Structure 1
Amino acid sequence: MFKSVPFKSRKLRIGLLAAIIALALLDFAWPRLVGAPEGKPEEPRFPALKPLTNESITPAPTAISPGYQPGLKEFWDSFSKAVAEAQPHCQIGLPPDFQGVPINSFSNLKPGFNYRPDLVQVSTEDVDDLRNAHSHFVAKIPELAPQLPFAKGTKGIVTTASDNFMPVLIVSLRALQRSGTKLPVEVFMESQAVYEKEVCEVILPTLNARCLVMSEILDAVPNRIQISKYQLKVLSILFSSFDEMLLFDADNLVMEKPEDLFSTEPFVSKGLVTWPDYWASTASPHYFTISSQATPSPSIRAASESGQLLMSKSLHTPTLLLTTYYNIYGPSHYYPLLSQGAPGQGDKETFLAAALALSKPFYTVVTPPKTFGFHSDAGKNFKGTAALQHSPLQDYQYHVLKNSSITDPDKNIPVAFVHAQTYKMDAAAIPDIFNSEINTRIFGSRERVVQLCGRDVEKQMWGDALYTGCQLEKGFRAWEGKKGICKKIGRVYKFLFN
Structure 2
Amino acid sequence: MSLFVNKKRLVKIGAAVILLLTVQLFVFSPRNTEEQLSQTGEPGALSMVPIEATSDKSQSPIPGADSGDIVRTGGGFKFTQENNNSPVDSLFNLLVETKPKSPPLAKYIHGEKAQQKFSSDPDFHFSEKYLMGLLEIKETTLLDLETQHQHFVDKIRDLPMSIFGDPQKQISGDGIVMVGGGRFSWLALLNINQLRSAGCQLPVEVFIASEQEYERDFCDRLLPALNAKCVLGFEELPLQRYREKLRIDGYQYKSLAIFASGFKRVLLLDADNVVIHNPDILFDWSVFEEYGLVLWPDCWSRTTHPYFYRIADIEVGDHPVRGQFMDRESPDEWNYHDLPGTLPNPASESGMLLVNKEKQVDTLFLSLYYNMFGPSHYYPLLTQGGAGQGDKDTFIAAAYALRKPVYQVKQNMKFLGYHDTYGFHAKALGQWDPTTVAEEKTPPYLSNFYDFQNENDSRLMFMHLSYPKLYPDKLRDEISWEQNGELRHRKLYPGRLPNSAYGFDLRMWELITQLICPQWTPNEAIDAASVEIQDKLTGLDLQYIKNSKGNAECESLFLPHLEYLRRHTSTEEEFYVYE
Please indicate the TM-score interval, normalised by the length of the shorter structure: 0.7 to 0.9
Q: Give the Cα–Cα distance (whole angstroms) in 2 for the partners of residues 90 and 284 of structure 1.
A: 17
1:368 alignment partner, SS class: coil
Question: What amino acid is the match of 1:155?
Answer: D
Aligned to 2:429: 387
Give unpaired runs (5+ residues) of structure 1.
1-61, 402-406
Structure 1 window deviating more from structure 2 (222-231 vs 243-252): it is 222-231
Instruction: Within 5 Å, give how 1:14-413 maps onto structure 2.
Output: 63=71, 65-68=73-76, 74-91=86-103, 92-95=105-108, 98-108=111-121, 114-115=127-128, 117-118=131-132, 119-144=134-159, 145-146=161-162, 148=165, 149=167, 151-216=170-235, 217-219=237-239, 221-222=241-242, 223-295=244-316, 297-299=336-338, 300-376=344-420, 379-394=421-436, 396-399=439-442, 410-413=455-458
Q: Deviations over 1:244-264 (max 9, x none)?
A: 010000111112323211112
2:291 counterpart letter in structure 1: K
Gaps of 5+ in 2: 1-69, 318-335, 339-343, 445-451, 483-487, 518-536, 568-579
Kindly tell me: are residues 319 and 473 of structure 1, through their superposed partners in 2, closer, same or farther at Cα, counting changes over 3 Å? Answer: closer
**Does the CA-based 8 Å contact 2:460-2:497 persist in structure 1?**
no
Selected match of 1:462 from 501, 509, 518: 509
CA separation of 1:215 and 1:429: change in aligned 2, threshold 3 A: same
Deviation track 1:218-275 (CA, whole Å, cap 9, x = no partner) reads 2463434231111111110111111101000011111232321111221000000000
* 2:91 aligned partner, one-letter code: F
Q: Which has the larger radius of gyration?
A: 2
Q: Which amino acid aligns with 2:435?
A: L
Alignment check: 8 A CA contact 1:473 1:486 kept = no
C-alpha displacement of 1:452: 5.9
Question: Aligned to 2:298, what secondary structure does the other structure show?
Answer: strand
Deviation at 1:408, TM superposition (A): 7.8
Deviations 1:22-52 (A, max 9, x none): xxxxxxxxxxxxxxxxxxxxxxxxxxxxxxx
Q: Is the 8 A contact 2:429 2:464 kept in 1?
A: yes
SS where residue 247 of structure 1 aligns? strand
The one-letter amino acid paired with 1:137 is F
Cα contact 1:69–1:241 (8 A) shared by 2: no
Q: Tell me, yes or no, if the aligned pair for 2:99 and 2:148 is still in contact at 8 Å.
A: yes
8 Å CA contact retained: 1:167, 1:425: no
- How far apart, in 1, do the equivalents of 2:458 and 2:498 lie? 12
Equivalent-residue separation in structure 1 for 2:410 and 2:559 (angstroms): 39
1:425 counterpart = 2:438: no
8 A contact 2:458–2:499 mirrored in 1: no
**Aligned residue pair count:** 428
Q: Give SS of 2:426's match.
A: strand
Distance 1:126 1:99 in 2: 20
Checking the alignment, whether the CA contact within 8 Å between 2:513 and 2:559 is kept in structure 1 is yes
Higher mean C-alpha deviation, range 350-359 or range 71-80: 71-80
Contact 1:282-1:340 within 8 A present in 2 as well: yes
1:425–1:462 Cα contact (<8 Å) kept: no
Alignment of 1:477 onto 2:490 = no
Query: Is the 2:374–2:391 contact (alpha carbons within 8 Å) kept by the matching residues of 1?
Result: yes
- Residue 391 (structure 1) shift: 1.4
Aligned counterpart, 1:494: 563
Cα distance in 1 for partners of 2:562, 2:405 equals: 45
Contact 2:515/2:540 (<8 A) preserved: no
Q: Residue 470 of structure 2 aligns to which amino acid in structure 1? A: M
Is this contact kept in 1: 2:75–2:230, CA < 8 A? no
Structure 1 distance, partners of 2:372, 2:454, is 38
Opposite residue 294 of structure 2, the aligned amino acid is V
1:8 paired residue number: none
- What SS does the aligned partner of 2:303 have? coil
User: Counterpart of 1:12?
Assistant: none
Q: Determine what percentage of the aligned residue pairs are the same residue.
A: 30
Point out the structure with the larger helix share. 1
- Could you tell me how far 1:399 is from its partner in structure 2? 4.1
Q: CA deviation at 1:208?
A: 1.3
CA contact (8 A) 1:469 1:485 kept: no
The whole-number CA distance in structure 2 between the counterparts of 1:157 and 1:356 is: 25
Could you give the per-residue CA deviations for residues 310-338 of structure 1, whole angstroms, max 9, x where no partner exists? 00011101000000000000000000000
Instruction: Tell me how far 1:292 sits from its aligned partner.
Output: 0.9
Contact 2:179 2:254 in 1 (8 A): yes
> Matches of 1:295 and 1:454 in 2, distance apart?
46
**SS at the partner of 2:162?**
helix
Does the residue aligned with 2:177 lie in a helix, a strand or coil?
strand
Q: Which moved more, 1:89-98 or 1:127-136?
A: 89-98
Once the two structures are TM-superposed, the CA of residue 105 in structure 1 deviates from its matched residue by: 1.6
Matches of 2:553 and 2:453 in 1, distance apart?
A: 44
How far has the Cα of 1:396 moved from its partner?
A: 4.7
Deviation at 1:153, TM superposition (A): 4.2
Q: How far off is 1:485 after superposition?
A: 4.2
Q: Which letter maps to 1:374?
A: Y
Q: Distance in 1 between matches of 2:201 and 2:541?
A: 25
Contact 1:427-1:468 within 8 A present in 2 as well: no
Q: Residue deviations 1:358-404, cap 9 Å, x none?
A: 0001100011011111224xx22211111111112225533479xxx
CA distance in 2, matches of 1:262, 1:433: 35
Bigger Cα displacement from structure 2, 253-262 vs 92-101: 92-101
CA contact (8 A) 1:373 1:384 kept: yes
Scaled by the length of structure 2, the TM-score of the pair is: 0.69
Out of 83-92 and 308-317, give the one that drifted further: 83-92
Q: Which amino acid aligns with 2:214?
A: Y
